[in-house]
Amino acid sequence: MSKGLPETRTDAAMSELVPEPRPKPAVPMKPVSINTNLLGYIGIDTIIEQMRKKTMKTGFDFNIMVVGQSGLGKSTLVNTLFKSQVSRKASSWNREEKIPKTVEIKAIGHVIEEGGVKMKLTVIDTPGFGDQINNENCWEPIEKYINEQYEKFLKEEVNIARKKRIPDTRVHCCLYFISPTGHSLRPLDLEFMKHLSKVVNIIPVIAKADTMTLEEKSEFKQRVRKELEVHGIEFYPQKEFDEDLEDKTENDKIRQESMPFAVVGSDKEYQVNGKRVLGRKTPWGIIEVENLHHCEFALLRDFVIRTHLQDLKEVTHNIHYETYRAKRLNDNGGLPPGEGLLGSVLPPVPATPCPTAE
């Protein structure tokens, strides 16, 4: 009996020092689904409807900029894109008159409503880009305008008493019109896209595609894609911003097959096979704007409005604006010089006395 006592104490001591291993909780291979029929209807599926109603009340903002040399049909294409006269606000202009030449950067706002959904559309028309004899640094006014809209948004955002809904004048999309030469991009085209692709979503567009044959159009598209790749110019949708495999697959197809969109714009209607269609009349027949066998306008419209409009807005806010905001605040140590973004000089912060060591 006495020999067994030390062993018992040792065993007890060991049991105190070494805890018994606990079994690990079993992890289910698949998430356990709860049968809602047993618990009754909760109403989680109405969240989407609540968001839809709230968004429809506030409406949407979308700001699109058109850039390119004169005579490429920028204003006409934007009118065709939204099936409305949105590129000019002058009431004196009518459909039969020639569209006046753009001479200055001008933002024209409209409210478009379709199916109960309201969108405040702003078209930013730019000067006849590249029309001058000396086009050195002619992209600077456009770049300045884009950055000014970021600055305007930033000032409102950091205000102490800021608005509940900040007016969004930031450029969400820039349609860059390429002349249908069939050869290669001009040095000016490359320089512009190289500078502005870092601050805005650029979508390259080959204008007046009806001036080229199908073979010439296909070869020119491939040449433009190759030149943009060689010069390291990223156009929208950018590869690094693809969030998942589905987005990557869809956007890769757009980048490799559709870009740049070869389009034809027209706001005139013609009768074709008993239907009224938008088109351009030639001696050989009617070029139908929305016919994919004639041009890629329908692809551009679906891309900008029906599939990627919200993503254009998100990339503008989360990437381009955040980049500008971080640089702007970092350059000034978190606060702008002088009056700064808050609109008034900040009072000095009183120094807090440090506790003395006893």
Q: What is the CATH number of the domain that holds 247?
A: 3.40.50.300
Alpha carbons 57 and 238: distance in angstroms, whole number:
32
Domain annotation covers residue 221: yes
| 8 A C-beta contact, residue 88 and residue 108 | yes
- Confidence category of residue 346, pLDDT binned at 50, 70, 90: very low
d(CA 266, CA 350): 65
Tell me if 23 is assigned to some domain. Answer: no
126 falls within a domain: yes
- pLDDT band at 21, cuts 50/70/90? low
Total domains, the chain: 1
Give the burial string for 255-282 (b: 16+ CB within 10 Å, else e). beeebbbbbbbbbeebeeeeeebbbbee
Contact criterion met (CB below 8 Å) for 177 and 205:
yes
DSSP class per residue in 303-333: IIIIISHHHHHHHIIIIIIHHHHHHHHHHTT
Paired tokens of 215? 């073979």
**pTM of the prediction?**
0.75
Question: Does 313 have pLDDT greater than 50?
Answer: yes
**Residues spanned by the domain of 139:** 54-88+97-264+293-329
φ, ψ dihedrals at 275, nearest 5°: -120, 150
What is the arrangement of strands in the sheet containing 275-282, beginning at the earlier edge strand?
A: 269-272, 275-282, 285-288
Rounded CA gap, 64 and 67, in Å? 10
Residue 133 lies in a domain: yes
Question: Which residue(s) pair with 204 in the sheet?
Answer: 176
- What tens digit of pLDDT does each residue of 180-196 get? 987 888 888 899 999 99
Task: Say what the pLDDT of residue 93 is.
Answer: 43
Give domain status of residue 323, yes or no: yes
Separation of alpha carbons 293 and 296, rounded Å? 8
